[in-house]
Amino acid sequence: MSPCLSDDALERVHADLGSIAERAHLAGCAACTGRSRRMRRDLDLITAVLRETREPLTHVAPVRRRWIPAAVGLSVAALALLVWVEVAVWRAVTPVPATMQPQEVAAILSDVSASLFSVNGDPVRSTADDGPLTLEGMARDVDSTLTGDEP
Amino acid sequence: MIVAAHYGRLRRLCRLLLGDPQEAEDVVQEVFLKAHEAERLARAPMDWGAWLTRVAVNGCRDRRRAGGWMRFRLRSTHIDDLPLVADTPAPSEAAISEDTRRRIWAAFRDLPRRQQEVFALRYIEEQPTTDVAQALGLSPGSVKRHLYRAVRHLRRALGDAR
């Protein structure tokens, strides 16, 4: 004789989904028949409750959206990862540009100025050699360029 | 005649599927209006029972689809459904513990819509599998599979109560 049916198999037989072998076993096995009767009683109880009793007053559960906590968690994790990459990794591998000294900046600016105000392609003499840039000096340079006089 | 024969069972079916007595009442009224219209237009079906069931199930589906907001509000109790005398439970309710009833109802509400419909028609309405399949537009095999899953889920809820 075949081994007794599992609960799952018994429920399949109840739903008329059981195989011929399972049904044959149920017909000949007292233990399984007893369990099947118990199952039938459970079903009777369930139908009696649904048919004859009032549904308890409860807050209806909102639509279960199980993906929301997971999505929020993933978003937070992604954001944290992004911040960490920015702070710890990106800054570590990106070379910090060397800062220039004020004198170098002044020299570059005066070169640019000389190129802009050059006459006949001859660059105006850089004022960086004469010392730091001053407003008066720059005004003098502009005047001389406009009048054509050498400063 | 049709109303007298089917009103009670349709009301029960709609209440089971919707969980709201007032909504269920509205759906049943609409079903009988449609039946009246069908009769007036000489389109009366051969089997009123199956026709009414199918229209009621579709009406409940439409209600559920349209009334998403209802899921978030406290389910109200229609005045007719309130117990008239004190709080003494009906004999059928007294025989079954409060916890068991609560678990069974909660498990039923947990079922997917299709399984609720199949279970209600097959076991509450006691319709044969072929009629259930016809009413829901499913194959008999599909009805059996839905039924198997529904029964398994409900029995587990009952098992937890013991």
> How far is CA A80 from each of CA A86, A91, A94, B121, rounded to the nearest angstrom?
10, 16, 20, 52
The CA distance from B23 to A104, in Å, is 83
Query: Is any Cβ of chain A less than 8 angstroms from the Cβ of B158?
Result: yes
On chain A, the residues whose CB falls within 8 A of the CB of B158 are: 42, 45-46
The CA distance from A114 to A1, in Å, is 108
What interface predicted TM-score (ipTM) does this complex get?
0.77
On chain B, the residues whose CB falls within 8 A of the CB of A48 are: 92, 96
What are the tens digits of pLDDT across the range B67-109? 655 554 444 445 455 454 445 556 555 667 888 888 999 999 9
pLDDT confidence of residue B44: 77
Q: What is the pTM of this model?
A: 0.61
pLDDT confidence of residue A37: 92
pLDDT confidence of residue B74: 45
Query: Is any Cβ of chain A less than 8 angstroms from the Cβ of B40?
Result: no
3-state helix, strand, coil in chain A (%, to 5): 65, 0, 30
* Count of residues making up chain A: 151
Of B39-48, B104-113, B124-133, the range with the lowest mean pLDDT is B39-48
Measured between CB atoms, which of A16, A50, A58 is closest to B104?
A: A50
Q: What is the mean pLDDT of residues B139-154?
A: 94
pLDDT confidence of residue B91: 59
Using the beta-carbon criterion (under 8 Å), do B148 and A17 form an inter-chain contact?
yes
Which run of H or of E encompasses A45? helix A30-52
Average per-residue pLDDT for chain B? 82
Measured between CB atoms, which of B19, B101, B145 is closest to A53?
A: B101
3-state helix, strand, coil in chain B (%, to 5): 75, 0, 25
Residue among A59, A37, A56 at smallest CA distance from B97: A56
For chain B, first and last CA: distance in Å?
A: 44
On chain B, the residues whose CB falls within 8 A of the CB of A12 are: 148
Of A82-91, B116-125, B149-158, the range with the lowest mean pLDDT is A82-91
For chain A, list residues with pLDDT below 70: 1, 58-65, 96, 119-133, 149-151
Q: Residue A150 corresponds to which tokens in the numbers above?
A: 């050498």
pLDDT confidence of residue B89: 59
B130/A94: higher pLDDT: B130
pLDDT-above-70 percentage for chain A: 81
